């Protein structure tokens, strides 16, 4: 999943460095926001699984994974913001 995330982030954020039209910047921001939203939904699902887990160690692991995914979503948004500022 991490490799897919990095691939999608690379394509979405760095695929059009030569393009400086405002619509390209908007496209980058929109794609990044969609990716971040999808990551947050995955994190929410993991948190729900953690709440339902009968095993405390499994719940802790799922909560940790959810936090990592939420951080990835924040990173995607930050990268898009930085890329938009470059244009």
Residue 38: burial class (beta carbons within 10 Å; 0-12, 13-18, 19+): middle
More confident residue, 71 or 87: 71
Per-residue pLDDT tens digits for 6-17? 556 665 655 555
Q: How far apart are CA 64 and CA 52, in angstroms?
A: 15
Q: Does the CA dihedral 67-49-9-30 come out positive or negative?
A: negative
18: left (phi over 0), alpha (psi -120 to 50) or beta: alpha
Per-residue pLDDT tens digits for 14-44? 555 555 556 777 888 899 999 999 999 999 9
For residue 22, what pLDDT is reported? 61
């Amino acid at each position: 999943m991490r490799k897919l995330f990095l691939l999608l982030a690379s394509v979405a954020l760095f695929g059009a460095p030569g393009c400086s039209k405002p619509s390209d910047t908007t496209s980058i921001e929109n794609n990044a926001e969609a990716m971040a939203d999808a990551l947050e939904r995955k994190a929410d699902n993991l948190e729900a699984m953690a709440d339902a887990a009968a095993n405390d160690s499994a719940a802790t692991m799922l909560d940790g994974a959810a936090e990592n995914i939420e951080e990835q979503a924040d990173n995607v948004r930050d990268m898009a913001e930085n890329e938009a500022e470059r244009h």
